[in-house]
Structure 1
Amino acid sequence: MEDTTIHAKSPGSALNSTSRYAETRSPNQEQSLPSLLSFVHDQSSRPITLRFEDLAYAIKSQSGEDHNHSSQNSNSNSTRTLLNGVSGVVRPGEMLAMLGPSGSGKTTLITALAGRLPGKILGSITYSGQPFTNLIKRKTGFVAQDDVLYPHLTVIETLSYAALLRLPKNLTREEKIQQAEIIITELGLTTCRDSIVGGPLIRGVSGGERKRVSIGQEMLVNPSLLLLDEPTSGLDSTTALRIIATLKGLARGGRSVVTTIHQPSSRLYWMFDKVVVLSDGCPIYSGQTGQVMEYFSSIGHVPRFNFVNPADFLLDLANDVSPTRNQDEHPQDNQGRLDNIEDRNSIKQFLISSYKTNLQQLVKDDIHQHFYDTNPMIQETSHSRSCDKQWTTSWWMQFKVLLKRGLRERIHESYSRLRIFQVMSVSILSGLLWWHSDLSQLQDQVGLLFFFSIFWGFYPLSNAVFTFPQERPMLTREQSSGMYRLSSYYFARMAGDLPMELVLPTIFVTVTYWMGGLKHSFVTYILTTVIILFNVLVSQGLGLALGAILDLKQATTLSSVIMLVFLLAGGYYVRQIPPFISWLKYISFSHYCYKLLVEVQYTEHEVYECGIGVHCRVFDYPGIKHLGMGNLWWDVAALGVMLTGYRIIAYVALRMIKLH
């Protein structure tokens, strides 16, 4: 293994002129990020030149979606064009900004460049001459507009777990943790290192710190290409300036940085090297930031005031607004040009046409300039092709890290005060209602057993339905980054369910069983507990499958209907189910759980007082006799099939949605 000793450089070596905007750091913290990350030697430090030419992308739109577009696109199943003829190039050391109003196609474009846009994209996107592959994906960092982070993890935990999953296996655990510490220092997160990230309902770090944590997760692998969607969205001007200054320093370290930004201040605008301006998916400018005003002046659009934020001026143009000095002061000189614009129906169409006439060929010439540079990325070796098919860490390492991270995050939810209160209050109330019942109250005891099967069927099902819909954004982001296999995530999730979901049912049964006066036998109590836990896992499996297949609203609705059906077909309320619908009980896990609870609670020869001085067999009780006792192992097998089957369905559903 190569030497991983980290050497400090002189202050400000990476940020250059933008360092004055960055977080205040002590001299020993002011280190060059490229040098700090140099020991991540999976070839990710090799530069990438991003080229995209004549990109076009369209989707099928339903009726009403295209009300802002021309009538030819207003059909019930029309095609909506989101990108049309967009071109540009970003070389190592450059930072490109994509400007445009809302709905102009900025997010679509950057998602396409990140290789995460579904459907067919027309045109060409190359990464130092190569198409998008798994090898390129591991060299590319993508930060979405919405920060998808676990709210209960601290900043250091978030970055440490990401480092353990994303950094190559030839680094030790200590080196990976050290990498996370370096990122925290470089991004100015030292003061909130041990603070939880937080979320909409949980107070945590500030919005700017959350954004830097998201950037830090991508910087862990020292990406050659970094793409960010609206990194300054919702941030104040000072925080936004610090974020862009950080990105500027990363670009100067030899990376290609591309970001969308909605309405930057003039200070932010001049920190970018290049800019692409979109209007309704079409480019109206692509080139150097310092030449943008000169270009628009050359086609007759001069700002009214001498001192104007170029970004504001560009957005006005993209929004079909062009208050120009020449129009106000010398309207007669511009009559011909205005007539020309009117012939094209709008300023927007004139700008799109002017781009095609004046800039399009220049942009393409820039794209193909030095296209065949001697670049290590172009000269793909057999070693890199083999690495393209490999994961950075082993399956077992992924499983261990994901299991530990899942337990650390979910313990707050699984053992929240509200959930503990909910379970314990129901447990104690049930124990009081069935207080010290005995065989003389056989109907009540059987009712308690059925309540066990129903409560611990509905409760875990209703919780499990939310699992994958809530985790899907995180799973999608991490799978798209190639952090881990879906199988390692899924098995870690299943293993983590055992301590998270089985403790409260055990406590519930322990309290209610003895308070309710059920059989005073430790063996029977253990068997009852095992059956309830078995039922919990089966019910949870059904909830996971529903959540993986359907969206949240559909899954919650269907789960309520299913539990109602299982409740009625469980064998307690309706004893003689009509033959044409009696098959429902065979798919009800509550039915099998209820039968097993009755079968371990009572013996075949046990009797109860069915009249004055008259004793009858418990198994001849009308509420038990129709259950068909004596098939214990078949009932266990049926639950076992459901336990396995539901989880297989959930896994296949996750696999089929093609997260990556």
Structure 2
Amino acid sequence: MFCTTSVKYFPIPCEVLAIMGPSGSGKTTLLDCLSGQRHIDSGSVFLNREPLSKKWRRRIGYVLQEEIFFPQLTLRETVVYTALLRLPETMPRAEKMRQVDHILEALELGCCQQTKFGDYLNRGLSGGEKKRANIACELLTNPLLMLLDEPTSGLDSHSAISLMKVLKRYAQLEQKTIVISVHQPSSQMFHMFDKLLLLHQGRTAYFGDVHNIYRHFEDIGVTIKPHYNPADFVLEQLKSHPDIREKLFIAAKESHGNYLNRNCITSSHNHQQTSDSEAKGKKQVDSILIDDIINNYYNHRSKRHLHQYENLHHTTGGCQVEEDEEAAQHLVWCAADSQSNFSSCASSDCHSYSAGSGPGHSEDDDWLSYPTSFHTQFCVLSSRNFKEAKPRMLSKLNWFQTIGLALMAGAIWFQLPRTEEFLHDLQGWMFFSQTYWMLFALFGALNSFPSEREVVSKERRSGAYRLSAYYLAKMCAELPLVITLPTVYLMISYPMLGCTSIKLFFLMLIFLLINTIVAQSVGFFIGACCMDMNVSITLSALYTLATQLFGGYLSSRIPEGLSWIRYTSMIHYAYQNMQILEFREGAAIGCGSPSSYEICKQQSTEFIPYEEILKAQNSTSPLWLNTLILMMFFLVFRCLGYAVLRYVRCPKKT
């Protein structure tokens, strides 16, 4: 790497760097800083001599400590959807599936790939399998740099060692740089690391090769006991002895300067051997030199760019860098104040394998934008959302509830006579049906976005897809699910009332479904605004109950200044539409004896005109106007829901 005073740590391809320290030492914070997921108070992080930006974050694989996945999807489905979203559009689907099979085999996940992730209610994958699945989704994209936050926590000793063997093998075979934070590894695992970064409260206590840790402690007067886990001994000394801790800080700072100077001299000395190595076809990855950049760059890029790197090295002497953007385009480095707390992002230098060298990655800059088109994102996300939402929205409990309620409603209002005496009963069925499905869809949608927030935030930070593609896919994928149960309800209960007109049945169904999807839109909006489920339920209940109370359905004594509230209710327009259809298209309602309608008293008519029934219910708006207002509700709340997710609930740096 280039020798500058602002560059401190040098993980290179084929090596595993372990970040170790007591709890609260800043391991996760450092990884957050390097991945661009946390604001930096001071210092800066650069990749390819550019500030860490969204396009570069997409080339960093960051495996979080928590396994954030959809519990209803199987392991293979999750990895396949990740491959379809994050691998390049130009790669054939068959090649993507081969990549999936290769990753699952490499991580020893073949035997459990058809198992669901599960949650606290339904058992699924084990802890170790979830850890490896988390890693598999990041390895698919062949990232420049792999960051793993305590992937072995919660695993037994055997599982942790197996996972480390997989990561070690992957780093060597794929020539990847892997940075892993670990709390308290076993002795066997400790010696599997190539380099160690030891932290305490954001300060560096040691950085260097793992096998040099014994000599480093001996230099400050501390000898690691034989047959003693060096990881346990180091952490114990670091946390229990303030004097030793201060000596470690001073020794780490001094060794850092010596380390930089030694690499500058070695880089200049070994540069003469580079051309011979290339001629023999050998790859030099055993030292932290600028020659490593040249070798990797030569193996995966054109000789013209290599010549520019060689000229750059000769002109700078290996220790300074000129402003040659093309020559330094593929240099990966991170810089920050080396002594800052990790809220200021302790600096690190991360050279990594060329992005174009892995399978499935083209030699152009397509990865700077989204890897797939909007159409592909929409199709893949629609399929995933449908599979994820189906068990939740069409659960056995919901089927039982819908069929049971339909039978009860049909039994209560069974074969209602079409006379004035039973007019109120018929209106009660319409009001009940509209209100129930409005509440069912609204409250069912409240938890839709909050339950997916963590997964979607993680995927959006990685640049997997556009928010608009996710939002539109979710709306379309859940549409057939949200209309299924109301359709079944109406198919059972409405014929039991005595309806024999197919035309009227379909008209009633259309407007019942319109009311349902409008209510879902309101639920999406409230759920997106209030990620707290208790707040969402409170606001939804307040809104729905207020519109019913002030709508005049339960009381006719409504204050004049508050009567306008009825016009903000979707149920007001949906209920009017059902009455218009039922009384205009259905069988006529016979006059009672005596009748409360003046037209039946003054004119010896047998049936009540539907206009008189609607007028008695203060239903004066035509069918088309009510429908138009409902569609406006639909569009406004869907757009507001997207705006909230786009500008308010977007993933932000902490």
Query: TM-score, length-normalised on structure 1?
Result: 0.78
Q: 1:628 aligns with which of 598, 616, 619?
A: 619
Q: 1:115 to 1:363 in 2, by over 3 A?
A: farther
- Superposed displacement of residue 619, structure 1: 5.4
SS at 2:207 equivalent:
strand
User: Quick one: distance in 1 between partners of 2:500 and 2:618?
Assistant: 24
Pair 1:223 & 2:143 matched:
yes
SS at 1:484 equivalent:
coil
User: Quick one: distance in 1 between partners of 2:142 and 2:473?
Assistant: 27
Unaligned runs of 5+ in 1: 1-48, 56-86, 323-337, 342-346
Pair 1:572 & 2:553 matched:
yes
User: Quick one: distance in 2 between partners of 1:196 and 1:299?
Assistant: 52
User: Quick one: distance in 1 between partners of 2:569 and 2:100?
Assistant: 49
- Superposed displacement of residue 397, structure 1: 1.0
SS at 1:285 equivalent:
strand
Q: 1:137 aligns with which of 49, 57, 69?
A: 57
Q: 2:507 aligns with which of 527, 532, 535?
A: 527
- Superposed displacement of residue 484, structure 1: 1.2
- Superposed displacement of residue 158, structure 1: 1.7
Counterpart position of 2:581: 600
Q: 2:190 aligns with which of 248, 260, 269?
A: 269
Unaligned runs of 5+ in 2: 265-287, 302-325, 331-361, 601-607
- Give the residue type in structure 2 aligned to 1:443: H
Aligned residues: 553
Pair 1:609 & 2:591 matched:
yes
Counterpart position of 1:645: 636
Pair 1:659 & 2:651 matched:
yes
Counterpart position of 1:32: none
Pair 1:306 & 2:226 matched:
yes
User: Quick one: distance in 2 between partners of 1:462 and 1:637?
Assistant: 24
- Superposed displacement of residue 389, structure 1: 4.4
Counterpart position of 2:310: none
- Superposed displacement of residue 574, structure 1: 2.9
Counterpart position of 2:413: 434
Counterpart position of 1:456: 437
Identity %: 32
Counterpart position of 2:525: 545
Where does 1:53-452 land on structure 2 (aligned, <5 Å)? 87-117=8-38, 119-253=39-173, 254-303=175-224, 305-318=225-238, 320-322=239-241, 341=243, 350=246, 353-354=249-250, 357-362=253-258, 370=289, 373-374=293-294, 375=297, 379-380=328-329, 387=366, 389-438=368-417, 439=419, 440-452=421-433
For the 8 Å contact 1:211–1:231, the answer to whether it is kept is: yes
For the 8 Å contact 2:147–2:178, the answer to whether it is kept is: yes
User: Larger RCO: Structure 1 or Structure 2 (Cα < 8 Å, ≥ 6 residues apart)?
Assistant: 2
Q: 1:425 to 1:351 in 2, by over 3 A?
A: farther
- Superposed displacement of residue 569, structure 1: 3.0
For the 8 Å contact 1:100–1:278, the answer to whether it is kept is: yes
User: Quick one: distance in 2 between partners of 1:366 and 1:138?
Assistant: 33
For the 8 Å contact 1:50–1:128, the answer to whether it is kept is: no
For the 8 Å contact 2:21–2:235, the answer to whether it is kept is: yes
Counterpart position of 1:12: none
- Give the residue type in structure 1 aligned to 2:594: I
- Give the residue type in structure 2 aligned to 1:628: S
- Give the residue type in structure 1 aligned to 2:457: T
For the 8 Å contact 1:91–1:256, the answer to whether it is kept is: yes
Q: 1:219 to 1:101 in 2, by over 3 A?
A: same
- Give the residue type in structure 1 aligned to 2:538: T
User: Quick one: distance in 1 between partners of 2:258 and 2:632?
Assistant: 65
Q: Which moved more, 1:365-374 or 1:215-224?
A: 365-374
User: Quick one: distance in 1 between partners of 2:184 and 2:579?
Assistant: 68
For the 8 Å contact 2:579–2:614, the answer to whether it is kept is: no
- Superposed displacement of residue 490, structure 1: 1.0
- Superposed displacement of residue 226, structure 1: 0.8
- Give the residue type in structure 1 aligned to 2:512: I
- Give the residue type in structure 1 aligned to 2:366: C
Q: Which moved more, 1:608-617 or 1:193-202?
A: 608-617
For the 8 Å contact 1:595–1:627, the answer to whether it is kept is: no
Counterpart position of 2:472: 491
SS at 1:90 equivalent:
coil
Q: Which moved more, 1:360-369 or 1:256-265?
A: 360-369
- Superposed displacement of residue 185, structure 1: 1.5
How far does the alpha carbon of each residue in 1:434-456 deviate from its partner, in whole angstroms, 9 at most, with x for none?
A: 22223331111111111112111
Q: 1:537 to 1:272 in 2, by over 3 A?
A: same
SS at 1:122 equivalent:
coil
User: Quick one: distance in 2 between partners of 1:475 and 1:356?
Assistant: 40
- Give the residue type in structure 1 aligned to 2:145: L
- Superposed displacement of residue 192, structure 1: 1.7
Question: How large is the RMSD of aligned CA atoms in angstroms?
Answer: 2.9
How far does the alpha carbon of each residue in 1:441-478 deviate from its partner, in whole angstroms, 9 at most, with x for none?
A: 11111111111121111111111110111111110111
User: Quick one: distance in 2 between partners of 1:430 and 1:214?
Assistant: 48
